[in-house]
Amino acid sequence: MIQELVVETLNNALILYVMFCLLAPIIFYLISVILAPKRPSKVKKMLFESGQTPIPYRVSPYPIEYFPYVIIYVAYALLALVAFITSISLMESTETMYVGVIVLSIITAVSIYLSLFMKNLTQKLERGGG
């Protein structure tokens, strides 16, 4: 039973390849263990700050500057996903092909309109506004 499983595993190129892929970082690490020195020090353990004053751990605000992009991309992601999944079935018959052409024409026209008329999506809070 085990022998059969081993033979089957060794005859499957994908399983063998996945095994080698998993081994690659381990081999790199083992070579490093053999070759690399180990001289730990407190300075080496410090985080890289490029000569600036270190910032301690703290809660920091996340910029909302690009938030509108995220929203518009999520909307497009849904459309792209639907197009990707239905791509083969769209090409199956003449009828679905025509429906596909009509739907894609509308989406293309909307995407061109948006890109032409929505000049800047970057969100900025202006002092004294509104």
Choose which of 1, 22, 59, 125 interacts with other proteins (CB under 8 A): 22
Compute the half-sphere exposure of residue 99: CA atoms within 13 Å on the CB side of its CA: 11
Please give the distance of CA 17 from its chain centroid, rounded to a whole number: 24
Measured distance CA(66)–CA(25) in Å, rounded: 36
64 lies in the site for other proteins, by CB under 8 A:
no
Site residues for other proteins per CB under 8 A: 10-14, 16-18, 20-22, 24-26, 28-29, 31-32, 35-39, 44-50, 55, 57, 62, 65-66, 69-70, 72-73, 76-77, 80-81, 83-84, 87-88, 90-91, 94, 97-98, 100-101, 104-105, 107-108, 111-112, 114-115, 121-122
